[in-house]
Amino acid sequence: MEQLYTVNQLAEELGITPRALRFYEVKGLLAPNRVGNNRVYTKRDRARLKLILRGKRLGFSLAEIREYLDLYNVNGGVEQQKNLLKRVQKRLKDLAQQREDLEATVQELHDIEVQVANTLAELKAATKDS
Q: Starting at the edge strand that comes first in sequence, how are the strands of the sheet with 33-35 ordered?
A: 5-6, 38-41, 33-35
Q: Is residue 11 scored above 90 in pLDDT?
A: yes
For residues 115 and 61, give the distance between their C-alpha atoms in angstroms, rounded to a whole number: 40
For the chain, the structural domain boundaries read: 1-60
CB neighbours of residue 63 within 10 Å = 9
pLDDT tens column, 28-68: 999 999 988 899 999 989 999 999 999 999 888 999 888 87
Residues 51, 69 contacting (CB under 8 angstroms): yes
What is the per-residue pLDDT across 62-117, written as a single tens digit (0 to 9) for each? Answer: 998 888 787 766 555 787 778 778 888 988 999 999 999 999 999 999 999 999 99
| 72 CB-side CA count, 13 A | 13
Q: How far is CA 28 from the centre of its chain?
A: 18
CATH classification (class only), 1-60: mainly alpha
